[in-house]
Structure 1
Amino acid sequence: MGDLLTGPASPRRQLRQLLAAPGPTIAPGAYDALSARLVEQAGFEVVYMTGFGTTASLLGRPDVGLLGGAEMADHARRLVDAVERPVIADADTGYGNAINVVRTVRSYEQAGVAGLHLEDQVMPKKCGHMSGKAVIETAEMVGKIRAAADARRDEDLVLIARTDAAAVHGLEAAIERAHAYAAAGADVLFVEAPTSAEDIATVARELAGVAPLVFNWAEGGRTPPLSLEEIAELGFALVLYPIATLLAATTAVQDVLATIARDGGPQAAMDRLPTFDGFTDLIGLPEVQQLEQRYAPRTDA
């Protein structure tokens, strides 16, 4: 858990080391600061700020490009401040052209993220596992990746290039784009939404050695749900589980609300909920109480 007075030493370097290590790093999705803390407390080494979950939590709406760059960067800042683990954040399309990407990268870097991913969709974008996507030209995205690489002040900031071209132009075109994005300066490659185990294996084979690869285990999405062992055998470096926490929270809230509606109160659900004291401990009240004592007015002055 992120302490109020201390922070991690170079989370960006930590992320780079994790991506270079053998075997995949797991990054569960967090949709707010509380879920980010829970990801960290569960022992995971990386927190992923999901754009799908961010849109759902801030607006109660689907991930169809409704949030702007300033809102997303501000949300990322809250997640970074809540944890000591590296945070990877969804930066959508960069919120405009290459010049907008410069500002996006600077904003996300100032927010403290360890990594971010940019995608080649047309604005307004859609969740990568929805239908009706469109992508910009490869040359335009190459310029945006070059701008992102030039914009970062910290060379350890991890730039992830995502392509959604498989759904629009086919897998071969997506792989060609991934090669171009790596040449433009992307540190990590993310081919979104392959729809078969064969396609996933093709991505891994064709991009092996080019850059570390992302596998997006989108819960209920278009990509087959491979086991972690299978993902590791294929050589992916980073595995995202973007919305499991969001879906779990939604189910839990629906269940307790149904209990209140049925019984007139939550009593029947209380044995499934954290205690009040347990929850305040979880979100850091003991640290606040220690700081209150530390900074209390001195009576011996």
Structure 2
Amino acid sequence: MASLYVLLALSQAEAETTQGSTAILITVDQSGKGDYEKIQDAIDAVPSNNVDLVFIRVKPGVYKEKITVPADKPFITISGTRAVDTIITWNDSGDIFESATFSVLASDFIGRYLTIQNTYGSGGKAVALRASGDRAAFYVCRILSYQDTLLDDTGRHYYNNCYIEGATDFICGNGASFFEKCHLHSITNGGGAITAQRRMSPSEDTGFFFFGCKITGVKTAVLGRPWGVYSRVIFAFTYMPNIILPQGWNDWGNSADQLSSVYYGQYKCSGPGAVTSKRVDWSRVLTSEEAAPFITKDSIDGKAWIRAAPTSFKKKAFPPKN
């Protein structure tokens, strides 16, 4: 019964959204007591062009799988019960789009209480999570790698109470993403960038917006560097320790003309690393009016699509286990 209560419990963030509804329940259990023993098999069982809410409950275990949620399978939730007990792991490097342990290509996806990791280490691009679908949300997940940990590629995304660890550009891509109460941990040997946002045009409504987050690290780091000439990153109400270098940001070799279109800002951050007196002159200390568009989930139109956990479940016949 305890696990059922965990499944039905709503996080505070989820409770703020629209009420949950009934979902089809699929159970993944490595012991063979569920519907499937592998997470990918459970995803594969969901029909193409799915229109139902599907809740894939993953029992504790270490799942050595390279997982893809295809674009034609929306409305899937994959949930553990505790992130430290439900670990999805792979070891791959190379192309930034192909190396990911876990790739979300579908819209309306939710990940909950999962550890997603790429154990490749230093020396190459090694993505743990690739988020390339629209309207994806992640709650209390641990996302771990070294370089390019979270490829927040494209679409609107919401991260709540997630732990994200890496060294080089470890939150990167061109998503429109709101990070609420997340913990960002830098493991760089010194000077590595936390973000590399790739907005390429002023017409793109994208950017990384951090609200009420916490930064930690083992050595020095910068808040970000511009992958795109219109790169946009905002930190608000975020704790920054003294590992953040006084300049705050790295220019990545861009010219002064290119940097003039970058939009990097802070608003009411705290900690010794949040001091702005020595920041690069192309970053900003935002006023309340300037910060307002970026410090709520409205920045990603969240009220229209962030949904609560389902309140009831039903079973449905799916293809048998292999």
Q: Which has the higher contact order (CA 8 A, sep 6+)?
A: 1
Q: Relative to total residues, which structure has the larger helix share, 1 or 2?
A: 1
Q: Relative to total residues, which structure has the larger strand share, 1 or 2?
A: 2
Place the TM-score, normalised by the shorter chain, in its bin. Answer: under 0.3
Which TM-score applies when normalising by structure 1?
A: 0.27
Which TM-score applies when normalising by structure 2?
A: 0.26
Choose 1 or 2 for highest CA Rg: 1
